[in-house]
Structure 1
Amino acid sequence: MVTKTCEKDLDNVIDEMVDAVEKSRDEIFNISEDARMEHEQLLRELEVTKEKVQLYIEKGDQLERNVQFSKQRLSEVNKYFDRYSEDQIREVYESTHALQTQLATLRTEEKNLRLKRDELERRLVSLSHTIEKAQGLGAKVSVVLQHLNEDFRKVNDLIIEAQEKEEFGLKIIEAQEEERRKISREIHDGPAQMLANILLRSEIVDRTFRSGYPEEALKEIKSVRKMIRSSLYEVRRIIYDLRPMALDDLGLVPTLRKYLNTTMDYSDVEIEFSVLGQESRLNPKYEVAFFRLTQEAVQNAIKHAEPTLIKVRLEMNNKFLNVTVQDDGKGFDPEQKRDKSFGLIGMKERVEMLDGTLTINSRIGRGTTIHIHVPYE
């Protein structure tokens, strides 16, 4: 009787999961459709804008010819001033001035249209990426939904004890939500902010160059190039974060050493890594947790502290595991509330799941030390 009740409870959990995934799939589809419709609208707007730009160019060229002709006439009037009446002279001057004013206005409008065209093209590229990602994610969600509807229905035949069945369903939901939170934090703190900054700086480059300051524009381009390189590193890091294969094959210490060496190559920060105790394989759950905790602490230091040196120390024995990440960066006030500090929140959550403690010591101008202690047998 208890088994049947637990089986029914697990079926309810699976039904709720299927319903949640179906809703997620529908939301992704709606996002994709909205992006596609906006993409089509922007395409039409871009075509109209391009036609206007071409029209303004043609009008501007014609006006420039008219201005040149009027200037020649004005030059003739100035040269043979005594041959013309006062009204004729005034007419030539006013006509030339009016043409020049009209040409300046037209060129300004043409410049604004060019800026609008460039912005539309950037938005179209961004929307294309969004549509592509949404379609790819929708396909993956469909696969997950298929597994939920087919494979997970067989779980009741494999799990006998009611307690095990309940934990299985709950752990699936917990893992799914945790992964969503992690990816959201990673993208929010990394590429999303960097790409927004790159877009802003690229507009500054465009305006600076058009304003006739090529040297300043070149400086901005170098800055943008540096941000792009940093953004590329962030994307590669997020991909690596999903699951480093070396962690399964070699264990925690070699994987951490390789990761820190790679990070040091990509950044201008020196990283020192030391291990206390015997280097041995750990329970996979602890290896993954400590790898990602160290990874998050190092990345936070590089992104926010502007350090020149980061020291990472890992201590392993048969009773506990410790990791300490210390930097000589600008530090911060731990008592001050930091908005959207998803990195530290994620670290605290992961440490609490292991029944451990996380301690942060930091002072402005004196660097930051993060110490993590987890019981382990």
Structure 2
Amino acid sequence: MRRFGLVEDANPAAFDRVPDLAIGLPLPVEQTQRERMGRYLDLCSRTENPVPGALFVRDGVEGFSRHPCRGARIVLRAYNEEPLVLLHLTPTGLEGRLGLLTDRLNDARRVMQERKRREIEMQALLAERSRLLAHLEEDAQARQRAEAERDAVLSKLYRAGQDERRRLARDLHDHAGQQLVTLTFGLRKIASRLSCPTALHEVEQLLRHTQDIGQSLRRVTLELRPAALEEFGLITALRSLVEEWNRVTEIVTEFQIVGQEGDLPLETAVTLYRLAQEALTNVAKHAGPGVAVSVVLRFSALQVTLTIDDNGGGFRADEALTSHLVSQGKLGLLGMRERLSLVDGTLNIESAPGQGTSIVARVYRSPEGRGDA
């Protein structure tokens, strides 16, 4: 407004506070207050710092009300940079407290709404978490069922394979073995009737070939079905295996027994025997010249441990991981692991280039099968 009281502009709140306010007209102040109002506006027009004061303006037809205010000089381009007075009507004490209370209530309402919104979001997250946990539990149960079914199938396949090995060994022994025996006697009978040195020499060569075939047939039969294992136990079968392997490969081999042998299920004994076969075969293939081997079978109250050490070339230990074994086509070590898992056993392979290899198989013993350590 101008310093002599004409209203140039006002905001909606001013019209709410002063109903008789009108643009282009003087402030509707009480008649007795006009002179004081003029002095106040003149003072405000000379400073840019807010000057406190009070207005007594008309409130309705006959009443007047007091409005605390603050005024200061202001220059606006819209009014040709003519000095004006910016008048700010401040609320009364009661109105201020009511306004503050209203603001606090609004703030509290916003806080409650935000809290409610967050609670809804949290409930949604908890519900989603519960659904995820349920799905995970279902997946875990399904995986356990699948693993149990897989183990059952593998166990059946393993037992079927062992039964097939026994059948083949029996057939080779009963049929091919008997035929070789018949052939040997026939050749010997022919040799006894020959007088020609050349013919006799040829028959003797056939006899030697027949004997070689018989030895190969016995070796294959033993690999398919270690008769000593079923008749004399794991220790005797392993000792016989190591001695035969030492004789064929001429590799220095040591065999030790630690602890007292207890009763083992035939399936467990066969698994350890097959593991020793596979490990010794790998030594013969990969260990290199000048290698020495140690085979140790240890019995305790809780487990049976078979350890096969060699001082050969070795390999990187991470190559014993299942994924690497499959990718490299090294199914022998993978087969060891699978066989042991079917009899509640574990297999550890420790190796490094130039440091040899250690294969440690552990099979846990059931309470009824434990012997004295």
More strand by share: 2
Task: Name the TM-score class by shorter chain.
Answer: 0.3 to 0.5
TM-score of the superposition, structure 1-length normalised? 0.39
Which of the pair has the greater relative contact order for Cα pairs under 8 Å at 6+ separation?
Answer: 1
TM-score of the superposition, structure 2-length normalised? 0.39
State which structure, 1 or 2, has the greater radius of gyration over its C-alpha atoms: 2
